[in-house]
Amino acid sequence: MDCLGCRISNGMEPNVNIIFENELIACVLDIAPFNEGHTLILPKQHFWDVEDMDTGTAHCIMDTSMKISKILKQIFQPDGISICQNGGVFNDLTHYHMHIIPRYKGDGFTWSEPLFPNGAEKRLRGTRDRIVNALNSL
């Protein structure tokens, strides 16, 4: 298996801290956690992006994210939880994975403003129309 994400999710990588798994997914502790408890949910089947997944796997990932979030809140009492996934060229693992990150005020985790503003806020109505039209044509 050439894909690191496939190897991790299928138990083929050494020293992986699996906290939960079933036939569709594996949940592992991130090896470079932003905060303690930072968890990755990976499907056992190879998918690059969220839209590539079958609905069963997608639902399993979402259901599991809810369970893991609840447990992380119980154990670590964070101020909140961030859930994120990076797709396309931003998917550094080249295998779909969802991050569940316990968050604390002042922890330094940021969602920043764009480095190069592009005026998207001035095109909200047109953007909405484009997306609604595309959704209606499905």
What's the CATH superfamily of 4-111? HIT-like (3.30.428.10)
Q: Which two tokens stand for residue 77?
A: 């009492």
pLDDT tens digits for range 40-90: 999 999 999 999 999 999 999 999 999 999 999 999 999 999 999 999 999
List Cβ neighbours of 38 (8 Å cut-off, separation of 6 or more): 29, 30, 99, 100, 101, 102
> Tokens 């690191």 map to which residue?
4
DSSP state of 128: H
Instruction: Read off the pLDDT of residues 49-62 as tens digits, 9 standing for 90 and up.
Output: 999 999 999 999 99
Distance CA 62, CA 129 (A): 28
**99 near 120, Cβ under 8 Å?**
no
Indicate left, alpha or beta for 33 from its phi (over 0: left) and psi (-120 to 50: alpha): beta
- Domain borders along the chain are 4-111
For the entire predicted model, the pTM comes to: 0.89
